[in-house]
Amino acid sequence: MTIEASGIAPAIMTGYLMDLPVVFAKKKSPRTIQNALSTTVHSFTKDRDYEVVISSDFLTPKDNVLFVDDFLAYGNAALGVIDLIKQSGANLVGMGFIIEKAFQNGRKTLEERGVRVESLAIIEDLSNCRITIKD
Protein backbone atom coordinates (compact mmCIF):
# COMPACT_ATOMS: atom_id res chain seq x y z
CA MET A 1 0.00 0.00 0.00
CA THR A 2 1.06 3.58 -0.61
CA ILE A 3 -0.30 7.09 -0.99
CA GLU A 4 -0.35 8.76 -4.41
CA ALA A 5 1.71 9.98 -6.16
CA SER A 6 5.41 9.69 -5.33
CA GLY A 7 4.96 6.42 -3.45
CA ILE A 8 3.40 4.61 -6.40
CA ALA A 9 6.63 3.70 -8.26
CA PRO A 10 8.46 2.15 -5.28
CA ALA A 11 5.27 0.40 -4.12
CA ILE A 12 4.61 -1.10 -7.54
CA MET A 13 8.19 -2.37 -7.83
CA THR A 14 8.02 -3.82 -4.30
CA GLY A 15 4.72 -5.51 -5.12
CA TYR A 16 6.13 -6.85 -8.37
CA LEU A 17 9.24 -8.27 -6.70
CA MET A 18 7.20 -9.81 -3.86
CA ASP A 19 4.41 -10.99 -6.20
CA LEU A 20 1.82 -9.04 -4.18
CA PRO A 21 -1.01 -6.71 -5.18
CA VAL A 22 -0.60 -2.97 -4.63
CA VAL A 23 -3.29 -0.48 -3.63
CA PHE A 24 -2.93 3.23 -3.06
CA ALA A 25 -4.84 5.84 -1.14
CA LYS A 26 -5.79 9.00 -2.99
CA LYS A 27 -5.18 12.54 -1.76
CA LYS A 28 -8.59 13.64 -2.96
CA SER A 29 -11.84 11.72 -2.70
CA PRO A 30 -13.10 10.78 -6.17
CA ARG A 31 -16.85 11.02 -6.76
CA THR A 32 -16.94 7.37 -7.71
CA ILE A 33 -15.47 5.97 -4.50
CA GLN A 34 -17.74 3.78 -2.42
CA ASN A 35 -17.26 2.57 1.16
CA ALA A 36 -14.64 5.25 1.75
CA LEU A 37 -12.20 5.21 4.63
CA SER A 38 -10.57 8.60 5.16
CA THR A 39 -8.10 10.42 7.35
CA THR A 40 -6.33 13.76 7.34
CA VAL A 41 -2.59 13.96 6.65
CA HIS A 42 -0.49 17.10 7.04
CA SER A 43 2.20 17.60 4.41
CA PHE A 44 5.23 19.26 5.97
CA THR A 45 6.70 19.90 2.50
CA LYS A 46 3.61 21.67 1.15
CA ASP A 47 2.36 22.94 4.52
CA ARG A 48 -1.21 21.82 3.92
CA ASP A 49 -3.62 19.11 4.98
CA TYR A 50 -4.90 16.40 2.65
CA GLU A 51 -7.89 14.14 3.03
CA VAL A 52 -6.46 10.71 2.20
CA VAL A 53 -9.05 8.20 1.02
CA ILE A 54 -9.25 4.51 0.11
CA SER A 55 -12.22 2.22 -0.38
CA SER A 56 -12.79 -0.48 2.21
CA ASP A 57 -13.33 -2.74 -0.82
CA PHE A 58 -9.54 -2.61 -1.31
CA LEU A 59 -8.41 -2.63 2.33
CA THR A 60 -10.15 -5.35 4.33
CA PRO A 61 -9.79 -7.12 7.69
CA LYS A 62 -8.25 -10.09 5.81
CA ASP A 63 -5.31 -8.02 4.56
CA ASN A 64 -1.73 -7.90 5.82
CA VAL A 65 -0.38 -4.51 4.76
CA LEU A 66 3.14 -3.32 3.99
CA PHE A 67 3.23 0.46 3.51
CA VAL A 68 5.86 1.66 1.01
CA ASP A 69 6.75 5.30 0.36
CA ASP A 70 9.57 7.36 -1.08
CA PHE A 71 10.50 9.44 2.01
CA LEU A 72 10.15 9.16 5.76
CA ALA A 73 10.49 12.54 7.46
CA TYR A 74 8.18 13.32 10.38
CA GLY A 75 5.95 10.31 9.67
CA ASN A 76 2.72 12.22 9.01
CA ALA A 77 1.76 10.20 5.92
CA ALA A 78 2.61 6.98 7.72
CA LEU A 79 0.43 7.95 10.69
CA GLY A 80 -2.44 8.60 8.30
CA VAL A 81 -1.97 5.16 6.77
CA ILE A 82 -1.95 3.60 10.24
CA ASP A 83 -5.32 5.27 10.84
CA LEU A 84 -6.74 3.94 7.55
CA ILE A 85 -5.48 0.44 8.34
CA LYS A 86 -7.06 0.56 11.81
CA GLN A 87 -10.36 1.73 10.33
CA SER A 88 -10.32 -1.18 7.87
CA GLY A 89 -9.41 -3.82 10.46
CA ALA A 90 -6.41 -4.89 8.36
CA ASN A 91 -3.04 -5.83 9.88
CA LEU A 92 0.00 -3.58 9.41
CA VAL A 93 3.13 -5.74 9.03
CA GLY A 94 5.63 -2.93 8.48
CA MET A 95 6.67 0.17 6.60
CA GLY A 96 9.42 0.58 4.03
CA PHE A 97 10.96 3.77 2.70
CA ILE A 98 13.48 4.57 -0.01
CA ILE A 99 15.01 7.51 1.91
CA GLU A 100 14.68 8.31 5.61
CA LYS A 101 15.54 11.71 7.06
CA ALA A 102 16.71 10.51 10.48
CA PHE A 103 16.98 14.05 11.87
CA GLN A 104 13.19 14.52 11.53
CA ASN A 105 12.31 11.64 13.91
CA GLY A 106 9.66 9.84 11.84
CA ARG A 107 11.19 6.46 12.69
CA LYS A 108 10.94 7.17 16.41
CA THR A 109 7.29 8.21 16.03
CA LEU A 110 6.46 4.97 14.22
CA GLU A 111 8.54 2.62 16.36
CA GLU A 112 6.92 4.04 19.50
CA ARG A 113 3.66 2.72 18.02
CA GLY A 114 5.18 -0.73 17.49
CA VAL A 115 5.70 -0.36 13.73
CA ARG A 116 8.61 -2.12 12.03
CA VAL A 117 10.47 0.42 9.86
CA GLU A 118 12.98 -0.36 7.10
CA SER A 119 14.77 2.23 4.93
CA LEU A 120 17.16 1.78 2.01
CA ALA A 121 19.11 4.98 2.74
CA ILE A 122 19.16 6.94 5.98
CA ILE A 123 20.23 10.58 5.85
CA GLU A 124 21.61 11.64 9.20
CA ASP A 125 22.35 15.27 8.38
CA LEU A 126 21.74 17.87 5.66
CA SER A 127 23.72 20.83 6.92
CA ASN A 128 26.53 22.95 5.47
CA CYS A 129 25.58 21.83 1.94
CA ARG A 130 26.59 18.24 2.78
CA ILE A 131 24.59 15.04 2.92
CA THR A 132 25.65 12.61 5.65
CA ILE A 133 24.34 9.08 5.08
CA LYS A 134 24.28 6.51 7.86
CA ASP A 135 26.64 3.55 7.29
Predicted pLDDT of residue 91? 98
Q: Report the percentage of the chain scoring pLDDT > 70.
A: 100
What pTM value is reported for the model? 0.91
Residue 74 pLDDT level (bands cut at 50, 70, 90)? very high
Could you count the other beta carbons within 10 Å of the beta carbon of residue 3?
Answer: 26
Q: What domains can you pick out in the chain, each with its CATH number?
A: 2-133 (3.40.50.2020)
* Cis-peptide, bond into residue 11, ω within 30° of zero: no
Q: What is the mean pLDDT of residues 63-89?
A: 97
